[in-house]
C-alpha cells in the first residue's frame, strides 16, 4: 500500500514539487512535437496530416498499456517506475535525434510515450504517499498542473529551434530527462518495505475490467485529451496561418494560452476542497470547451477573438484532470486497485492524444478548419453522457462514508 510519510505539510512540499517537476519535464516530450512541427515538416518534407502523427504516435503504446503499467506500479513501486519512465523517455528522445527518416522518428516517439506513461501513472501514487492528509487535495491539484506547465515552457523554448535545429532540441530534452532521473532517485528515499497481501495479476485485471469506475475515468480522459489536443496540437500552424506570424511566435502564443490550463488546475483544487460537486465541474468544463471550440475554428470571428477563446478553452479544460485524479480512489473497485484505475485513466488520455490531432488534421485538410469544431462539440456531448455514471459512483461512495483518502492504494 502507499506509505504516507507522516510529515508536516511544509516539509512535504519540496518532495511533492520534485515529483511534479518530473511530470513537467515529461510534458516537454509531449509539447516538443507541436513546437517543432513546422521544422520537422520542412526537414523531412511531410504533409500536415503526416507530421501530426509525431504527436499521436507518442500515445500509441499508452493507449494499450495504461492498465498493465498501473498493475506494475502497485507491485514494484512508484519510485522505481517513475525513474524508469524518465530514462525510457530520454532513450527515445536521443534515438529520435539520430533517426534517419520519418518512420524511425515515429518509432522513437512510441518509446518516449511508453516512458511518459510509466511516469504519469506512478506519480500520483508517489504524491499520495508523500502528502499528509491535510494537504493532499492541493498536492493533487499541483500535480495535475504538470501538463500545462510543461507544454508552456517547451513552447516558449521554440526559438531555440532556429539555433540547435529540431535534432538538437531532441538531444537537449534527452539530457534534461537523464539529469532529472538522477535527481529524483536522490531526492526520494526508498520507502519502508511493508508486505502486502498477494494477489494474482489476472484477479486484479478481472476485477478492474468488470468495474464501471475505471472505464468511466478512461472515457472521460479520452474525451478531454482528444478535444484538448485537437485544438492545441495544431494551434501553432493555425495561429501562424490566421495571424500571419512566424512559427516561433505562434508557438509562444500557444504556450501562453496553454498556461491558462495550469491556472484552471489550481482553481479546481480549491473548488474541490470547498465542497464543489465533481460532476458539476466536469459538465461546466466540457460545456465551455464545446462552446469555445465553435468559435476557435470559425472564419467569421476576428483572429484575436479566436485566440481569446483558446485561453478560455484552456482554463476550462484545466479543471478536468484534477477532478479525474481526485476521483480515482473513489472510482477504483478496491483500495489495492487505485494504481490500475489511474492506469485506465491514463490509457484514455493516450487514446485521446492519438484521436485528437489525427482527426483534427484530417478534417481540416479535407473540409477546412471549421469542421474541427463539429468534432469538438460531438466529443464533449459524449463526455457529458459519461458524467452520469461517474456521478452515480461518486454519490454511492459518499453515502458509504469512504473517502479517497481512506481508499488510497498502490505502493510508494
pLDDT attached to residue 406: 43
Tell me if 361 sits within 8 A of 234, measured CB to CB.
Answer: yes
Residue 285 to residue 281: CA distance in whole angstroms: 6
Percent of the chain with pLDDT over 90: 32
Q: What is the pLDDT of residues 68-82, one digit of tens each?
A: 777 777 677 788 899
Mean of the pLDDT values across residues 42-71?
Answer: 76
CA 28 to centroid of chain Cα atoms: 11
pLDDT at 168: 95
Distances (CA, A) of 228 to 137, 181, 222, 233, 315: 24, 28, 10, 8, 11
Alpha helices in 4-77 (DSSP H): 9-44, 48-51, 53-56, 62-76
Map grid coordinates 452520469 to a residue.
388
pLDDT at position 102 over 60:
yes
Closest CA relative to residue 407, chosen from 322, 343, 337, 321: 337
Looking at residues 55-72, what average pLDDT do you find? Answer: 74
- Report whether pLDDT(67) > 80: no
CB of 35 closer than 8 Å to CB of 213: no
pLDDT of 258-306, one tens digit each?
Answer: 889 989 988 998 898 888 899 999 999 999 999 999 988 887 878 788 8
How many whole angstroms separate alpha carbon 191 and alpha carbon 407? 19
Spatial distance between the Cα atoms of 1 and 107, rounded to a whole number of angstroms:
35
Cα atoms found within 13 Å of the Cα of residue 259, Cβ hemisphere only: 12
**C-alpha cell at position 106:** 515515429
Residue 124: how many other CB atoms lie within 10 Å = 29
Dump pLDDT digits (tens) for 381-404.
999 999 988 887 665 655 555 544
Q: Is the pLDDT of residue 200 over 70?
A: no
How far is Cα 28 from Cα 152, in angstroms, rounded to an integer?
A: 9
E-only strand ranges, 72-138:
none
Please tell me the predicted confidence (pLDDT) of residue 379: 94
Q: What is the residue-wise DSSP string for 355-391?
A: HHHHHHHHHHHHH-THHHHHHHHHHHHHHHHHHHHHH
The pLDDT of residue 394 is 65
Q: What nine digits make up the cell of 221?
A: 480522459
Q: Distance between the two ends of the chain, CA-based, in angstroms? A: 7
R_g (Cα) of the chain, nearest Å: 20
Cα–Cα distance for residue pair 177/174, rounded to 1 Å: 5
**pTM for this structure?**
0.77
Q: What is the mean pLDDT of residues 225-245?
A: 84
Separation between Cα atoms, residue 216 and residue 93, nearest integer Å: 32
Site of grid cell 494499450: 64
Asked if residue 268 lies in contact with residue 318, where contact means CB atoms within 8 angstroms, the answer is: yes
pLDDT value for 403: 46
**DSSP helix, strand, coil percent of the chain (3-state; round to 5):** 85, 0, 15
Residue 232: closest CA among 364, 110, 360: 360
Q: Which three cell numbers stand for residue 73?
A: 506500479
* pLDDT tens digits for range 332-381: 777 667 777 887 888 888 888 888 888 888 888 888 888 889 999 999 99
- Tell me which of 332 and 214 has the higher pLDDT: 214
Proportion of the chain above pLDDT 70, given as a percent:
87
What's the confidence (pLDDT) of residue 366? 85
Domains of the chain in start order, with CATH, are 9-187+201-399 (1.20.1250.20)
User: Rounded to an integer, what distance in angstroms lies between the CA atom of residue 393 and that of residue 351?
Assistant: 23
Q: Is residue 15 over pLDDT 80?
A: yes
Q: What's the rounded Cα separation, in Å, for the pair 338 and 277?
A: 21
Q: What is the dihedral of CA 2, 204, 112, 257, to 10 degrees?
A: -70
The rounded distance, in Å, linking the Cα atoms of 340 and 205 is 8
Amino acid at each position: 500500500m502507499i506509505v504516507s510519510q507522516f510529515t508536516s505539510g511544509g516539509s512535504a512540499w519540496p518532495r511533492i514539487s520534485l515529483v511534479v517537476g518530473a511530470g513537467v519535464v515529461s510534458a516537454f516530450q509531449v509539447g516538443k512535437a507541436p513546437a517543432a512541427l513546422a521544422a520537422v515538416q520542412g526537414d523531412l518534407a511531410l504533409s500536415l496530416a503526416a507530421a501530426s502523427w509525431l504527436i499521436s504516435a507518442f500515445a500509441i503504446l499508452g493507449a494499450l498499456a495504461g492498465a498493465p503499467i498501473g498493475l506494475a506500479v502497485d507491485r514494484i513501486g512508484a519510485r522505481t517506475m517513475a525513474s524508469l519512465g524518465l530514462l525510457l523517455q530520454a532513450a527515445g528522445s536521443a534515438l529520435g535525434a539520430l533517426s534517419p527518416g520519418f518512420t524511425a522518428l515515429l518509432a522513437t516517439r512510441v518509446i518516449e510515450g511508453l516512458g511518459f506513461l510509466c511516469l504519469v501513472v506512478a506519480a500520483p501514487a508517489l504524491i499520495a504517499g508523500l502528502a499528509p492528509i491535510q494537504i493532499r487535495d492541493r498536492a493533487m491539484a499541483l500535480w495535475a498542473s504538470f501538463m500545462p506547465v510543461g507544454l508552456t515552457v517547451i513552447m516558449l523554448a521554440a526559438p531555440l529551434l532556429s539555433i540547435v535545429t529540431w535534432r538538437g532540441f531532441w538531444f537537449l530534452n534527452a539530457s534534461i530527462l537523464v539529469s532529472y532521473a538522477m535527481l529524483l532517485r536522490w531526492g526520494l528515499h526508498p520507502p519502508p518495505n511493508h508486505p502486502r497481501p498477494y494477489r494474482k495479476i489476472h484477479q486484479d485485471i478481472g476485477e478492474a475490467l468488470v468495474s464501471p469506475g475505471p472505464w468511466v475515468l478512461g472515457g472521460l480522459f479520452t474525451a478531454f485529451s482528444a478535444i484538448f489536443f485537437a485544438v492545441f496540437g495544431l494551434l501553432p500552424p493555425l495561429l501562424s496561418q490566421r495571424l500571419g506570424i512566424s512559427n516561433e511566435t505562434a508557438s509562444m502564443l500557444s504556450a501562453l494560452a496553454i498556461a491558462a490550463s495550469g491556472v484552471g488546475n489550481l482553481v479546481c483544487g480549491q473548488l474541490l476542497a470547498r465542497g464543489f460537486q465533481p460532476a458539476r465541474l466536469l459538465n461546466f468544463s466540457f460545456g465551455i470547451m464545446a462552446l469555445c471550440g465553435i468559435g476557435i475554428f470559425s472564419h467569421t470571428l476576428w483572429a484575436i477573438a479566436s485566440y481569446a477563446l483558446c485561453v478560455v478553452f484552456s482554463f476550462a479544460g484545466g479543471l478536468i484532470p484534477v477532478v479525474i485524479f481526485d476521483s480515482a480512489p473513489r472510482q477504483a473497485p478496491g483500495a489495492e486497485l487505485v494504481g490500475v484505475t489511474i492506469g485506465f485513466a491514463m490509457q484514455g488520455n493516450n487514446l485521446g492524444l492519438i484521436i485528437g490531432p489525427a482527426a483534427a488534421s484530417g478534417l481540416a485538410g479535407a473540409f477546412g478548419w471549421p469542421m474541427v469544431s463539429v468534432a469538438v462539440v460531438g466529443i464533449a456531448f459524449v463526455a457529458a453522457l459519461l458524467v452520469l455514471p461517474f456521478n452515480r459512483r461518486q454519490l454511492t461512495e459518499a453515502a458509504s462514508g469512504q473517502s479517497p483518502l481512506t481508499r488510497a492504494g498502490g505502493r510508494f
